[in-house]
């Protein structure tokens, strides 16, 4: 099997299906990435926790599955290990996750329990014998009660936020604990308008950043059927989160379930799942699906979240293409040697411009007009995907990261981001930039990092 669509500097599963990032942590000088994983098929199914480690957030080494689901009671039993998070305690790596019981098989119990597992070496994990540590939600009306995100407040005080729905409203629940075994429900931390965010909140993450409190959350059951990742910035007063603003984390619709962690250098790093929710996912034919976003460092400026690829990315940039030599007479750039591993940076942008990636059969068009930015993917001249975003501020800088089947566009140094998947059938050969901003235009090949051993 040839893996033409596999990313080379984004994390993806060796085989099978990947969704949410789980348990992100720096433990014993390694970054750990766990993830929702179905090793048995390129489709969602019985969930395991896949596991990988890295020293630089790009060169990942696959490790054995960290958490296996219990044995199935029937072929249709989708009970498994749902999303969660990690924390270090007494030199152990502790995972907190949701044990999901398929309601079609287990119809007389709560379908979700919160559990923990331990590891001394960060490779082999043992589920706690006294699981679950939280057996059920605070009352019977809560449903879709999952995705615990833990954080430490002081040496013996832990908080945990859990996503849920109640009475048609998506809510985030707040728990506290002194030892990770005994948890106390404090209150509903916050809830979100169901007309915009639907009746369930998934994968909440709650942290302090630059003196404010930030919540990231995913809304998966909105009326329009879109699954989208959001953030809110605000204050945390009397165990309640009071948002000043709620914004999309990403302009496009392919990013979901972003989780963050703080590394030993006090950086708040975010990784999300990049999928293809509403169109054909061609990588299924290669036996795999789902990739992680580029790891991004978060900060706050003017009460808005700024996202920028972590600085380790700089080490992957290979020699700059000499634009003067590769620019042909029709002002197109020959990019055939870049193999769709591309970092493109443009400054001093004119009000309107177009960037077109071309191979024999496909085109990817990024089109900026007055205040909107349009993305079109063409397969044999037919529109495969089209999306448009309104830009509030003048666009001064554009950074584009392409890795085989993903494009992440950072506007004005991460003021806004649009991340999406595309499935070109060949490497792009030509790049047309119109008008061509000669002075402030750089294009680089990105060095492959995928699956390297440490």
Which residue numbers are catalytic? Answer: 20
19 lies in the binding site for ligand FRU (CB under 6 A) = yes
257 lies in the binding site for ligand FRU (CB under 6 A) = yes
CB of 144 to ligand FRU, least distance (A): 7
Inter-residue contact 215 to 236 (CB < 8 Å): no
146 lies in the binding site for ligand FRU (CB under 6 A) = yes
219 lies in the binding site for ligand FRU (CB under 6 A) = no
276 lies in the binding site for ligand FRU (CB under 6 A) = no
Annotate each residue in 165-204 with x if it binds ligand FRU (CB under 6 A) or - if it does not, as one string.
Answer: -------------------------------------xx-
CB of 36 to ligand FRU, least distance (A): 4
293 lies in the binding site for ligand FRU (CB under 6 A) = no
DSSP letter (8 states) at residue 105: T
Q: Phi/psi of residue 111, each to 5°?
A: -80, -10
Which run of H or of E encompasses 397? strand 397-403
Residues numbered 298-317 forming contacts with ligand FRU, rule: CB under 6 A: none
Q: How many CA atoms lie within 13 A of 222 on its CB side?
A: 16
Inter-residue contact 206 to 151 (CB < 8 Å): yes
Q: Which residues pair with 217 in a beta bridge?
A: 230
List of residues 6+ apart from 382 with CB closer than 8 A: none
20 lies in the binding site for ligand FRU (CB under 6 A) = yes
Interface with ligand FRU (CB under 6 A), residue total: 13
- Closer of 221 and 444 to ligand FRU (Cβ): 221
User: SS3 for 240?
Assistant: strand
Binding ligand FRU by CB under 6 A: which of 113, 147, 377, 408?
A: 147
Q: Phi/psi of residue 237, each to 5°?
A: -130, 125
d(CA 29, CA 295): 17
Binding ligand FRU by CB under 6 A: which of 8, 36, 99, 445?
A: 36
**Upstream peptide bond of 132 is cis (omega within 30 degrees of 0):** yes
- Strands (E) in 303-352, as ranges, are 304-309, 317-320, 332-334, 341-347
403 lies in the binding site for ligand FRU (CB under 6 A) = no
79 lies in the binding site for ligand FRU (CB under 6 A) = no
Q: Which residues bind ligand FRU (CB under 6 A)?
A: 19-20, 36, 47, 82-83, 98, 146-147, 202-203, 256-257
């Amino acid at each position: 099997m040839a893996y033409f669509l596999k990313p080379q500097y984004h994390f993806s599963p060796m085989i099978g299906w990947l969704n949410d990032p789980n348990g992100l942590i720096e433990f014993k000088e390694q970054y750990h990435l766990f993830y929702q994983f179905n090793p048995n098929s390129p489709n969602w199914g019985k969930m395991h926790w896949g596991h990988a480690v890295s020293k630089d957030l790009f060169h990942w080494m696959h490790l054995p599955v960290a958490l296996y689901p219990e044995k199935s009671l029937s072929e249709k039993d989708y009970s498994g290990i749902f999303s969660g998070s990690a924390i270090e305690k007494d030199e152990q790596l502790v995972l907190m996750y949701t044990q999901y019981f398929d309601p079609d098989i287990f119809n007389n119990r709560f379908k979700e329990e919160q559990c923990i597992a331990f590891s001394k070496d960060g490779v082999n994990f043992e589920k706690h014998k006294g699981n679950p540590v939280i057996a059920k939600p605070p009352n019977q009306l809560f449903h879709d009660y999952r995705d615990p995100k833990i954080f430490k407040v002081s040496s013996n005080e832990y908080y945990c936020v859990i996503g849920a729905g109640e009475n048609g409203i998506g809510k985030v629940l707040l728990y506290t604990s002194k030892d990770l075994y005994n948890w106390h429900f404090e209150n509903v931390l916050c809830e979100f308008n169901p007309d915009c965010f639907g009746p369930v909140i998934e994968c909440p993450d709650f942290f302090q950043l630059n003196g404010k409190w930030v919540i990231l959350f995913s809304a998966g059951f909105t009326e329009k059927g879109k699954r989208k990742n959001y953030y809110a910035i605000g204050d945390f007063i009397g165990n309640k989160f009071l948002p000043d603003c709620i914004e999309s984390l990403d302009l496009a619709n392919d990013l979901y379930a972003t989780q963050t962690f703080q590394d030993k250098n006090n950086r708040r790093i975010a990784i999300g799942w990049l999928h293809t929710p509403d169109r054909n996912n061609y990588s299924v034919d290669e036996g795999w699906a789902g990739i992680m976003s580029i790891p991004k460092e978060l900060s706050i400026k003017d009460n808005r979240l700024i996202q920028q690829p972590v600085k380790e990315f700089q080490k992957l940039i290979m020699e700059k293409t000499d634009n003067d030599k590769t620019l042909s007479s029709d002002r197109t750039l020959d990019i055939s040697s870049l193999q769709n591993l591309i970092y493109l940076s443009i400054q001093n942008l004119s009000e309107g411009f177009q960037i077109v990636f071309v191979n024999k059969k496909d085109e990817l068009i990024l089109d900026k007009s007055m205040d909107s930015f349009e993305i079109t993917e063409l397969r044999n001249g037919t529109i495969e995907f089209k999306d448009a975003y309104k830009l509030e501020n003048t666009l001064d800088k554009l950074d584009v990261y392409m890795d085989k089947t993903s494009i992440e566009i950072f506007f004005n140094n991460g003021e806004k981001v649009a991340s999406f998947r595309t499935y070109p059938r060949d490497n792009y050969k030509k790049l047309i930039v119109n008008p061509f901003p000669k002075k402030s235009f750089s294009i680089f090949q990105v060095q492959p990092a995928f699956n390297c051993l440490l």
